[in-house]
Structure 1
Amino acid sequence: MTLPETAPAGAEPADASAPTAAASPDRTGISRRGLIGWAVGSGVAGLAVGAGAAAAGAGILRGAAPPDEFAFEGAHQAGITTRVQDHLHFASFDMMPRARRDDLVSLLQDWSHAAARMVTGLDVSASGAVGGPSEAPPDDSGEAQGLGATGLTITFGLGPGLFDADGDRFGIAHRRPAALAPLPAFVGDALDEAYTGGDLCIQACADDPQVAVHAVRNLSRIAFGRARLRWSQLGFGRTSRTSAEQQTPRNLFGFKDGTANILGDDAEALDAHVWAGGGGEQAWMAGGSYLVARKIAMHIETWDRLRLSEQDRTIGRAKGTGAPLSGGDEFAEPSFHGGAIDANAHVRLAHPTVNDGVRILRRGYNYVDGNNGLGKLDAGLFFLSYQRTPAQFIGIQKRLATDLMSEYVTHVGSGVWAIPPGAQKGSYVGAGLFS
């Protein structure tokens, strides 16, 4: 655990390698298959929401101050170095058993088109929630009408299973990056299949939880017939920062989290630790990254009975100030000489100096999923990290085998995905994979 530290509507693409208008914000429709998915899928839309909310077309209320907007197109996907928003809806999908290459391509095209609209505060299509025929299901579910963009980012990922599908049914096995493989087992894992793996992932982050939920809900509807939801997770209260202007947040143990995180304007660190390279068959990943997600249950009631001094010793920082126990303020570099910080404190075992200089960019969130059968809080950290290669996370996680914090957490969910570079104008996320 690393805590503180598309083709025109009605037509299928003739050439999956050719750029299409799929992700263009000017496009007014999505593929016929996507539209059919919306109409048929409206009855299962709630699966992606978990507990969807209904409210009052998309867009910004007249006279209201415009919210933050982050462009969908660009060299890198938004939602990585973007300032960390307050809310998360993460979802993992599996492709349907009969899906083939054209299905995967059209899905990525349709998703990119819809995402490019939603991040500007628009509905997923021009007809949206209320502009279509009254006797047909709306294209958009409508619960984000009037809320605006609220800093929404939508990030797409491709899992290792996508490249290993039976008989290479998507025709991409030869383009699988060597770094993309299921994570190994770690000491203390108790993984639940209900929160593990997936062919595709969507990370939707926003400053309004309903906007994030709306994004995943509608992308799930679009996927109907081509991909199905495997699992999802809502998160709140970011547990990291990617901007120097952001205050360091606190996790559910009450400690500041993300003090030493890589910041979005640190180009040198991003190039060294976050952005993937690519050559030969893996050239399509250049400028992308790799995402690791871990659902980490915190044993809240046990932790809350610990003496404050023991909590500080476990983390290696002072709970109040966030300063390392070796002295200084929150941002002082910890000193691991002299015994002020325990040899197995979390801050030491996760620190770059004991991990060959390796760093990762974290975008985690708190979660509370109610109570379990014993009446205890079902709560913890939904850990998200971006790195140039998953080996960076693997090395740190192995180092944490003796972490004092291990007594108070259990890893119950896990996944790894390749995050392609951003979509270019008039194209879609992942287009380079099919060139």
Structure 2
Amino acid sequence: MSERISRRTMFGLGAAGLAAAAGAGALATRSTPQQPTTAHAPSPSDPFPFYGPHQAGIVTPAQDRLHFVAFDVTTTKKAELVSLLQEWTAAAARLTQGKEAGSFGAAGGDPEAAPDDTGEALGLPASGLTLTIGFGPTLFDDRFGLAAQRPAALADLPKFPGERLIPEISGGDICVQACAHDPQVAVHAIRNLARIGFGRVSVRWSQLGFGRTSSTSRAQATPRNLMGFKDGTANMKLEDTELLRDQLWAAEQDGSAWMAGGSYLVTRKIRMNIETWDRASLREQEDIFGRDKGEGAPLGKKQEFDAVDFAARRPDGQPYIAEKSHVRLAHPSAHGNAHLLRRGYNYVDGSDGLGRLDAGLFFIAYQRDVRKQFVPIQMGLAKNDLLNEYIQHVSSGLFACPPGVQDAGDYWGRSLFG
């Protein structure tokens, strides 16, 4: 492995956070863009389309790396916020196709001015980069006259039993989710958006992630979380057209016409007590999840995708799947058939002062109505899940992700601000 690749790979394991400096942005390629011939990127190097009825990065087959950022809006002028969203959209359209953020790029233009692009992704392909934006509840306060347009589904999350949220890494006015197969490409995208936003937004918090913990397409194998178990076996997939229509995409009849074609995002940073978990017996670990660790099959079954049978009993008469197991409590049958589209990531943010890994799951879930989906599911888990002994929710985010950008004359959030 080359020295350069080794440095880039380390981005996926580093701590969150990226500062922004001054700048602007507008046109020039970092590599020759490859035009996809289908709705899905044919290889990890190629681009996904940016324009469409829904934002990319939701049902897009989950990429390997994440850089997620939440911004606070610092300007008090609505016109400046709209201008920023327009500039961001133009830059995002370029970046996702393997181009530089601005027209003069990292090495062109006025040598006495800051470059249009920071340059660390020069020579790298698009790497399946997607950029997805969302608006937090705090954006709908009295600063920009948006209070009447706050969707009912963007209701503040309740306090869940046992959570210990850190305010500094929770919330935010605007979020941007960057997913790519190369961590340097994802970091480059967020860095340049933050640079463009200087003076109008500031970074509130950010998170790097690696090793996706969900599949969003049936073409993908189910990945594993840092506890060693397959994660997201029952996740909604892009092929589930009717389920996505019913449970993922907001509709005009939901009460907020500007969100039609969008979706609601919940993030949770879930720290795992890794060292304690690693000393638990295999039987205990499997009973907690309700699946076997090797194949990922529901206990009492043989294959990962075998139907879960909650009535099945062991020879001693006890249920194979415990009443407080994660699988049973999270199952759609326990919550009125509520589903989530998950696309979370593992994270390792170094270690704490006691020498324990600061590691776990950065949970990401999209849905049509948080009140009917995430909230009842998480409330049931928070109250009863056997897994709670080994995890701690430390941050939370809630965002309304608008519909997709239709063409070059459109911009992120136009349905809200236009």
- TM, length-normalised to structure 1: 0.85
Sort the Cα spacing of 1:118 and 1:395 in 2 relative to 1 into closer, same or farther, 3 A.
same
Q: CA deviation at 1:58?
A: 1.1
Distance, in Å, in 1 between the alignment partners of 2:167 and 2:391 is: 18
Question: Structure 1's 141 and 259: CA in aligned 2 closer, same or farther, altered over 3 A?
Answer: same
Distance 2:33 2:47 in 1: 15
Correspondence 1:234-273 to 2 at 5 A: 234-273=208-247
Within 1, Cα distance between the matches of 2:235 and 2:277? 24
Equivalent residues of 2:152, 2:255 under 8 A apart: no
* 1:91 counterpart residue number: 69
Residue in structure 1 matched with residue 376 of structure 2 by the alignment: 395
Name the counterpart of 1:230: 204
Of 400, 406, 413, the match for 1:424: 406
Stretches of 4+ aligned residues off by more than 4 angstroms: none
Q: Which residue of 266, 269, 284 maps to 1:295? A: 269
Q: C-alpha deviations, 1:213-238, integer Å up to 9, x for none? A: 00000000011111110000000000
Q: How far 1:281 moved relative to its partner?
A: 6.8
Post-superposition Cα deviations, 1:14-47, rounded to whole Å, max 9, x if no partner, equal xxxxxxxxxxxxxxxxxxxxxxxxxxxxxxx941
Candidates 14, 19, 28, aligned match of 1:47? 19
Aligned to 1:363: 343
Whether 2:183 is the aligned partner of 1:209: answer yes
Distance in structure 2 (CA, Å) of the matches to 1:281 and 1:408: 39
TM-score by length of 2: 0.88
Distance 2:253 2:73 in 1: 27
Report 1:26-425 matches (<5 A): 46-47=18-19, 58-60=30-32, 67-96=45-74, 98-164=75-141, 168-279=142-253, 282-337=256-311, 338=313, 339-391=319-371, 392-400=373-381, 401-425=383-407
Count of residue pairs the alignment pairs up = 378
Contact kept in structure 2, 1:284 and 1:420, CA below 8 Å = yes
Tell me: CA distance 1:318–1:66, structure 2 relative to 1, closer, same or farther (3 Å). closer
Give the Cα separation in 2 of the matches to 1:76 and 1:336: 36
Q: 1:279 Cα deviation (Å)?
A: 4.5
Contact 1:300 1:377 survives alignment (8 Å): yes
* Amino acid in the other structure paired with 1:125: G
RMSD: 1.7
The one-letter amino acid of 1:111's match is: W
Return closer, same or farther for 1:273/1:223 CA change in 2, 3 Å cut-off.
Answer: same
Post-superposition shift, 1:397? Answer: 0.2
1:78-118 CA-partner distances (Å, limit 9, x unpaired):
0000000000000000110x422112111111111100000
Counterpart-to-counterpart distance in 1, 2:288 and 2:243? 28
Structure 1: state its 5+ residue gaps: 1-44, 50-56
Instruction: Provide the C-alpha distance between the structure 2 equivalents of 1:375 and 1:60, rounded to a whole number of angstroms.
Output: 45
Alignment-mate amino acid for residue 394 of structure 1: V
Q: Deviations over 1:54-74 (max 9, x none)?
A: xxx611499xx8922111111
* Structure 1: distance between partners of 2:296 and 2:151: 38
Q: Deviations over 1:255-280 (max 9, x none)?
A: 00111111112110101110011249
Equivalent residue of 1:390, what SS? coil
Q: Distance in 2 between matches of 1:272 and 1:46?
A: 37
Q: Is the 8 A contact 2:33 2:126 kept in 1?
A: no
Task: Kindly provide the CA deviation profile for residues 351-394 of structure 1, in whole angstroms up to 9, marking residues without a partner as x.
Answer: 00111100000000000000001100000000000000111100
Unmatched tracts of structure 2, length 5 or more: 1-16, 22-28, 35-42, 314-318
Deviation larger for 379-388 or 183-192 = 183-192
